[in-house]
Amino acid sequence: MKYLCLHGAYGSAKNFQAQLSPFLDEVKGRDDYSFMWIDGIHETAPPDGFQDYFGAAPWHRHVKFEAADFLQRIRQFPQEQGAEDSMRFLLAGEELIPAESLTEALERVFKILEEDAEITGLIGYSEGSMIAASLIIEEQRRRKEHGTRRRIERAIFFAGWPPMAVVDGQASLVLADSSDAMIDIPTFHVIGCNDPYLNGSMSLYTTCDEDLAEMFDHGQGHTVPRDPRTMKELVTVLDKFGKANRSFRFEDN
């Protein structure tokens, strides 16, 4: 399976490859994994003091970022609330991402899928996982409304965030307790129990079909695990998950 890899906010294709290098080493030489890496559309810069954290420049985002006090709110990200309530707190009624920017990011990925028929999987980290999940939801909508063939058959999310969809001209969160939409393909969720934004990962997980979703907790924070032992365990679980869902096919595609 060929995966399109979507980095997180203030990331890049090059830096994401470095982040995932332990995973890539573990699956190296296997014909069931191949990858395509892309930079986000928008070149940007991390907040002051975080340049070293995000790796070497240039840095990119998949979407434009509008909410002025978002960084302050994310530092106060509530853990005691439920996952969905935490995400609503984060937005606080604002349009965090302009609908035009979300649409632009998704259309770009759709174009890449058109140009490379081998891509049937997505790997996303943080903001990249939001784009990946949003694309799956949008694929569902296009299939239902226009009969468009669906492409994405599997997704791997690292430190996930829930999907968004354009509703009534605004980019809105898709949350399990307020939306009928559900990610209905096999999904593998890599989370860290010490992630300060764990509720983001959990609110993504709950939007997915629980019969087709698997979770792996690496016990760390908002990061990709890098130690070889953990990565070997992760790939072992991922392989079992893949074998269990090998026969997955869209019923109406």
> Which residues are known catalytic residues?
126
Pinpoint the alpha helices (H) of 6-126: 13-19, 21-27, 70-75, 83-91, 99-115
Residues 6+ apart with CB under 8 A from 42: 60, 61, 62, 63, 64
Token pair recorded at residue 32: 């069931």
Cα-based angle 187, 191, 197 (whole degrees, multiple of 5): 120
| Residue 122 neighbours by CB under 8 Å, 6+ apart | 3, 4, 5, 6, 132, 135, 136, 152, 154, 155, 156
Q: Which of 29, 207, 205, 34 is nearest to 118 (CA)?
A: 34
Cβ contact 159:197 at 8 Å: yes
Token pair 């991402």 is found at: 97
| Residues sharing a CB contact under 8 Å with residue 32, sequence separation 6 or more, in sequence order | 1, 242
Q: Are strands 187-191 and 170-173 parallel, antiparallel or unpaired?
A: unpaired
**Cβ–Cβ < 8 Å for 164, 134:** yes
Say if residues 10 and 133 touch (Cβ distance below 8 Å). Answer: no
